[in-house]
Chain A
Amino acid sequence: MAGWWSRNILRVYAVLALCYLLLPVAYTLAFSFNDAGRSNLIWKGFTLRAWKGICDAPDVCSAVGNSLLVGLLATAVATVLGTMIAFALGRHDFRGRSATNLLIFLPMATPEVVLGSSLLALFVNMGGGLLGFPAVLLAHVMFCISFVVVTVKARIASLDPRLEEAARDLYADERQTFMKVTLPLVAPGIAAAALLAFSLSFDDVIITNFNSGSNFTTFPKFIWTSSLRGIPPQANVIASLMFAAALAVVVVGQINASRRAKGLVA
């Protein structure tokens, strides 16, 4: 018995730690079924009402729509811009590399409240006309770029340079090598970066809160502002659905990746 414990104590610990990590997720899911009145903090009884009428709570569905729109646009722009920078850093030698690295690193080392308030300072100085959807989109692209660069750059650095040499030995020109060899090899890194950018954008509260003005609401901002008067259980339903969707994407990605890995070995 003592031997079993000393062999498995780390595994037991890991399972307990994961339970701790998932406990609030379980709460969020459970309270989507709560027969709540004004506030959804105390368990009152089971109901499917929120699941049957997801958009019944005022503004919640338009907030989700705004979040998806900002998330998709910000992800597209940041992924393109960040991937270009990653290729410049990973594949080219140029003057100003360390300054570039610094400018990529700094937004990640700056707390969100500083990023949000400094952008607000800029937009207020410009007269405040951009506050709302434009300001939120510009801000989200900004803080996603660095994370895309880091993710894609790591993938580029891990490539086996012999694969590209082989392509050139077989008379592929630079363009063909890039399109047929380099880009497909980097693609999983780009996909991971896009997924990261989307999840950062979709869940951002602080920067959005500073720059969204009074008429534009995203899903996290909706939850944040309604936390004062009570969050409708519909928000828990949507969070649970997003959780399931994201989990499905990650699991499918994992399965594909392990299949590809097996295919390469075989």
Chain B
Amino acid sequence: MYFDTEVFQITVLSLKISALATGISLLIGLPLGTVLALGKFPGRSFFLSIVNTGMGLPPVVVGLIVAMLLWRSGPLGDFKLIYTPSAIIIAQTVISAPVVTGLTAAALQALDPRLRLQLYGLGASRLQMVGSLWREARLPLLAALMAGFGSVISEVGASMMVGGNIRYQTRVLTTAIVLETGKGNFDIAIALGVLLLAIIFLVNWALTWIQQRGARR
């Protein structure tokens, strides 16, 4: 039954969900990491340590919390999101946003602090200064993106708990592997595992190519 349209559907759904979660994480993590790296406000190092702790969040714990929030009787139950792809996107965003945020902050803090003075001294506005710093840190920022994507495409606990592994709806590659292994279908599980590895490789290869092209310029 596998290796047909269903496998294709599962693969596309996995990619869609993880790409969207990584994209949302980037939208949250890039500005937040920038503020944490460059801002001067009380509690900055406290927030940084929260984010760094978040980088190691166990996906099952995230799954549990998101499931409780989205549960029909939970505080966000009215949105009817539990066991939908949206629920998986939410959980994966919670997992990858701290990764992108923390690595963005680290990438910007690794730059020479005088670079900011130099940019202002050449007439950069605040936004132009930040844009230039992102450009300077583009290699570690792409690495942050890769790490964010890697943390969610291979995650299984949260997807299982909030998505429910429903065929044609919320079944993704990792949950399908768990299911087939449970059923003793090792050949299918291995094939899906190879497919997952190939996808992770292809996405990272593309991002690395972009990164190294930037490095050579």
Pair from one complex:
no
Query: Which residues of B does A touch, CB under 8 Å?
Result: none
